């Protein structure tokens, strides 16, 4: 993965915003609040119900699976947050890699694959035949709420 070399490259390719040091704290808070307002409407503030046996509370980093609370790691929560903000739509592996490991120089797509497998073990009724964390071969993943129409591009499989 080519790393951006300038502020302009960062803003064009991966960053929501860019703040240089030293920064003015009120400005930083305002920038964070702006981004949160923009994406906050896409992800429910409380519970995201994906089916009769699965709900997510991403702000608390928990899932409820068949009535049992399941703790999510920070990385799992970041990936689910990115998927929930695009519920029913495909999110590229590259985007998920940036969301989960954006501060890591040598991040590899296998990180996403392994984390998705771990998430499926936690939240799917049958991790080998996922219904909520669906792979779109060669592209990425999508989070599916039972009852939503399927993404026409999606081709179910194990790894993107």
Report whether the peptide linkage leading into residue 140 is cis, meaning its omega lies within 30 degrees of zero: no
Sequence ranges of the domains in the chain: 1-41
pTM of the full predicted structure? 0.67
Round to whole Å and give the CA distance between 11 and 150. Answer: 32
DSSP states of 23-69 as a string? --HHHHHHHHHHHHHHHHTTS-SS-EEEETTEEEEGGGTEEEETTEE
pLDDT per residue rounded down to tens, the chain (160 residues): 556 567 777 667 666 677 778 888 888 888 877 776 666 555 555 788 898 899 998 888 899 999 999 999 999 998 998 898 888 899 999 989 888 887 777 888 999 999 999 999 999 999 999 999 999 999 999 999 986 444 444 444 444 4
| Whether the Cβ atoms of residue 77 and residue 57 lie closer than 8 Å to each other | no
């Amino acid at each position: 993965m080519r790393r951006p070399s300038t502020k302009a490259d960062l803003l064009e390719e991966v960053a929501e915003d860019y703040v240089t040091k030293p920064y003015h704290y009120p400005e930083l808070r305002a920038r964070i609040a702006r981004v949160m307002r923009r994406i906050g409407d896409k992800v429910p503030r409380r519970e995201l119900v994906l089916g009769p046996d699965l709900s997510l509370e991403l702000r608390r980093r928990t899932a409820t699976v068949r009535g049992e609370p399941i703790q999510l790691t920070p990385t799992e929560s970041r990936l689910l947050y990115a998927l929930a903000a695009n519920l029913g739509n495909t999110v590229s592996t590259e985007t998920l890699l940036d969301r989960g490991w954006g501060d890591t120089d040598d991040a590899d797509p296998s990180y996403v694959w392994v984390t998705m497998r771990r998430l499926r073990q936690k939240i799917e009724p049958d991790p080998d035949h996922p219904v909520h964390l669906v792979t779109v071969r060669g592209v990425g993943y999508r989070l599916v709420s039972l009852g939503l129409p399927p993404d026409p591009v999606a081709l179910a499989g194990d790894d993107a």
